[in-house]
Amino acid sequence: MTKIHVPVRDAYDVIIERNILKRCGEIISEVSKAETCAIITDDNVDKLYSETVSESLKSNGFKVVKYVFPHGEASKNAGTLTKIWSFLVQNDITRSDCLIALGGGVVGDITGFAGATFLRGIQYIQIPTSLLAQVDSSVGGKTAVDLPEGKNLVGAFKQPALVLCDPETLRTLPEKFLIDGMGEVVKYGMIADEKLFDLLLNCNLENVHEYFDTIIPICVAIKKNVVAEDELDTGLRMILNFGHTIGHAIEAYYHYETYTHGCAVSAGMCIMTKYCNTPEEYAKLKKCVENYHLPTDTDAPIMELVNLCGHDKKRAGQKLRWITCNPIGKAQIQTGTIPEFRAIFEREV
Amino acid sequence: MTKIHVPVRDAYDVIIERNILKRCGEIISEVSKAETCAIITDDNVDKLYSETVSESLKSNGFKVVKYVFPHGEASKNAGTLTKIWSFLVQNDITRSDCLIALGGGVVGDITGFAGATFLRGIQYIQIPTSLLAQVDSSVGGKTAVDLPEGKNLVGAFKQPALVLCDPETLRTLPEKFLIDGMGEVVKYGMIADEKLFDLLLNCNLENVHEYFDTIIPICVAIKKNVVAEDELDTGLRMILNFGHTIGHAIEAYYHYETYTHGCAVSAGMCIMTKYCNTPEEYAKLKKCVENYHLPTDTDAPIMELVNLCGHDKKRAGQKLRWITCNPIGKAQIQTGTIPEFRAIFEREV
């Protein structure tokens, strides 16, 4: 068991432990005074883990209700959010009850937003079951839904009361989602930890499972340090967006259908590194992401992606911010106008 | 000009001044670095005040865009909120821009919620044009929309960056809305200021306009004191809910059609006072609200109203909280079970 304390205003722990799902109710009872836990999950995760979680909650004295929505990014919208809100009223959930986000990033983001807004805020707990959610989205309190115009355009900052990561869930994770999460794992190496990057450079999609007990805590600790410095995303937290400015544009360009988030970030990181680092470093990153079957580029014309970056929510006034990691393991926040950002991709490489 | 400073974490001023709408852009330019101000308003208020506000903003260098939705509580829902979010994206509103809530409580509540959630939070400014919004809803950072199941069931705490009250707008306010606001004004006398109550007892709907320069600052100052003590509504702020537990039930019972908020609160205050104070105090309150054509009771059976209170969001676990003002001018927070709350209304009075 590894416990990582996240020292923000409403501080909380991230606990990483194999088979923690089976005893989640015991741990949750230490941080929650809820009478009722409302599990929010998707139809895929529901079949795999709801019963285990629900049994553990019930045997620790909680009443349990459950809301299941169809899996996938397409559900992360205002319509699903509204249905969750109504479900919570209809089940008499009060300000002192607790939401349990059981699933991947979509479940975590929308449940967190429901927690931030239902009755103007009730407690929620993250039980991330995907790699992406375990190393990234479950920690830090960013909650959101998508709009038809773009991803994560509305949301709130609301820290979870607890995060429980069970690396065992990654063994049964479909390969597509494992690959997706590895995109973010490589990102942590790029922005903050050359040793992690080197470890990843020497592993592959088959043997990486053996290293998750090391990898997940390293990633969570990096994220924790960044979040603790910059809870409300006004500065340092930007470094977590390495690969995301272009990555979000890739997702939007393909209407969120072709690329998973991690794959889009992988291509985004490679494109940034191609234009901003030495050819040797670019080659290393390419090799690293290829180990995990992640893309190194896309068919979308780069200038069309750059144009899509204008709608990115990180743009402040006419300025845009983006991240470079040069050398590998050290992130820099860059600020410039849209023409300055565009100029990066106009040079021959 | 009266300026009241609200000393919460994100502190701000409430400025009360006749004809302040005409110079709002000048004052807003002192607190906002926005390039664009997005005015959110309803179709009634739009016709009366949008041009004045827009001209003042433009002549102070702001770009102005405007979203208008149909007036009335029926618009305060997730559908309107989603349309506002999309409007903001489509107009390239960024994190450094500003929303202007121009209108009554519905406009203020939904614009504030949009401000709390769009891009995970952007600045918003309140320009309340109804009495209810000037003395109550524009101050304190409570934002919300309704669900089909009840009023204000989802929302967020997000303080405005500035509140500008123009008492001149009350001269043209339809009588129905003036009456509505007087319900909340009487409430302030009941919970915190016997002198204000006595002033109100000796005025009427016709001559009260002469006293608004005194009345509005008193009400805002009371609200400010309560909000500063209890920003996140975990304690003292409950006293602002005098008359609201029953009041919300009255609104719900009549499907938000028969009673305005202020009228429901007025009936709610009278019902509570009838059962909790001396007959003399009850008679004084009845006289006072009748001065402003406010209701003293409803046709709804009291026990049906009490049952509806179970869904009220202030209920924590199986406990309910409600407010009494005995004697007039001094509020008490009461906590009890639903049967204990019910017992109040079972005694003969």
Q: What is the mean pLDDT of chain B?
A: 94
Identify the CA nearest to B256 among candidates B175, B176, B148, B340: B148
Residues B105 and B163 in one domain: yes
Burial of B13 (0-12, 13-18, 19+ CB in 10 A): middle
Inter-chain touch A119–B153, beta carbons under 8 Å:
yes
| pLDDT for position A97 | 97
CB contact under 8 A, A157 and B118: no
Give a yes or no: residue B192 inside a domain.
no
Residue B336, chain A, CB below 8 Å: the answer is no
- Chain B residue with CA closest to A114: the answer is B154
Contact of A94 with chain B, judged by CB distance below 8 Å, is answered with yes
Q: Over chain A, what HEC string results?
A: CEEEEECCCCCEEEEECCCHHHHHHHHHHHHCCCCEEEEEEEHHHHHHHHHHHHHHHHCCCCEEEEEEECCCHHHCCHHHHHHHHHHHHHCCCCCCCEEEEEECHHHHHHHHHHHHHECCCCEEEEEECCHHHHHHHCCCCEEEEEECCEEEEEEEECCCCCEEECHHHHCCCCHHHHHHHHHHHHHHHHHHCHHHHHHHHCCCCCHHHHHHHHHHHHHHHHHHHHHHHCCCCCCHHHHHHCCHHHHHHHHHHCCCCCCCHHHHHHHHHHHHHHHHCCHHHHHHHHHHHHHCCCCCCCCCCHHHHHHHHHHCCCCECCEEEEEEECCCCCEEEEEEEHHHHHHHCCCCC
pLDDT of residue B317: 57
CB contact under 8 A, A119 and B233: no
- Do B240 and B284 belong to one domain? yes
What proportion of chain B, given as a percentage, has pLDDT over 90? 84
B193 lies in some domain: no
CA distance B118 to chain A (A): 5
- The answer to whether residues A254 and A316 belong to one domain is yes
* pLDDT, position A313: 44
Residue whose token pair is 């410039």: A336
Residue A83 and residue A108 in one domain = yes
Written as six digits, the tokens of B165 are 């009250």
Taking an 8 Å cut-off on Cβ atoms, the answer to whether A155 and B117 are in contact is: yes
Nearest chain B Cα distance for residue A316, angstroms? 6
**Are B154 and B212 found together in one domain?**
no
Quick check: B317 and A78 CB within 8 A? no
pLDDT of res. B232: 82
Residue B305 lies in a domain: yes
pLDDT digits (tens, 9 = 90+) for B189-210: 999 999 999 999 999 999 999 9
Residues of B in contact with A35 (CB under 8 A): 317-318
Residues B145 and B216 in one domain: no
What integer pLDDT is reported at residue A255 of this predicted model? 87
**pLDDT class for B316, splitting at 50, 70, 90?**
low
Tokens of A156: 């709130």
pLDDT digits (tens, 9 = 90+) for A155-214: 999 999 999 999 999 998 999 999 999 999 999 999 999 999 999 999 999 999 989 999
Binary contact (A94, B316; C-beta < 8 A): yes
For residue B240, being part of any structural domain is answered with yes
Determine the Cα–Cα distance for residues B108 and B138; give it in Å rounded to an integer: 6
Closest CA of chain A from B96, distance in Å: 6
Residue B120 to residue A155, Cβ atoms within 8 A: yes
* Cβ distance of A153 and B85 shorter than 8 Å: yes
Q: Cα(B292)–Cα(B175) distance, rounded to whole angstroms?
A: 10
Give residues 136 to 175 of B whose Cβ lies within 8 Å of A. Answer: 142, 144, 147-150, 153-157
The answer to whether residue A261 is domain-embedded is yes
Residue B28 structure tokens: 């807003």
> pLDDT at position A252, please?
87
User: Please, which pLDDT band fits residue B349 given cuts at 50, 70 and 90?
Assistant: confident
Cβ distance B103 to B128 under 8 Å? yes
The CA distance from A288 to A282, in Å, is 10
Q: Do B147 and A316 touch (CB under 8 A)?
A: no
Q: Are residues B8 and B55 in the same domain?
A: yes
Q: What is the CATH number of the domain that holds A159?
A: 3.40.50.1970
The domain spanning residue B259 has which CATH number? 1.20.1090.10
Residue numbers of the domain that contains B307 = 198-344
- Cα separation of the two ends of chain B: 46
Closest Cα in chain A, distance from residue B166 (Å): 29
Predicted local distance difference test score (pLDDT) of residue B235:
84
Answer yes or no: is B190 within a domain.
no
Q: pTM for this one?
A: 0.88
Counted domains in chain B: 2
Residues B7, B124, single domain; the answer is: yes
> What does the pLDDT read at residue A317?
57
A48 touches chain B (CB under 8 A): no
**For residues B340-346, average pLDDT:** 92
- Band (pLDDT 50/70/90 cuts) for residue B179 is very high
Distance CA A308, CA A151 (A): 12
The reply to whether B182 falls in a domain is: no
Q: Are residues A327 and A214 in the same domain?
A: yes
Q: Identify the closest residue of chain B to A85 by CA–CA distance.
A: B154
Last residue of a domain, one of B170, B186, B213: B170
Find chain B residues with C-beta within 8 A of A149's C-beta: 86, 89-90
* A214 touches B: beta carbon within 8 Å: no
Nearest in space to A331 (alpha carbons), one of A224, A226, A183, A215: A226
SS3 string, B254-304, reads CCCCCCCHHHHHHHHHHHHHHHHCCHHHHHHHHHHHHHCCCCCCCCCCHHH
B17 and B89 share one domain: yes
B81 lies within 8 A of chain A by CB: yes
**Based on the domain organization, do A161 and A135 belong to the same domain?**
yes
Interface A–B counts its CB contacts (< 8 A) at 105
- The residue of chain B with its CA nearest to that of A98 is B317
Q: Is residue A349 part of a domain?
A: no
| Interface with B, mutate which of A62, A98, A117, A149 (most B CBs under 10 A) | A117
Q: Are B254 and B123 contained in the same domain?
A: no
Chain centroid to Cα B163, Å, comes to 13
Q: In chain A, which stretches have pLDDT less than 50? A: 312-315
Nearest to A84 by CA among A3, A30, A145: A145
Domain boundary among the residues A149, A170, A191 is at: A170
Q: In this complex, is the C-beta atom of A86 within 8 Å of any C-beta atom belonging to chain B?
A: yes
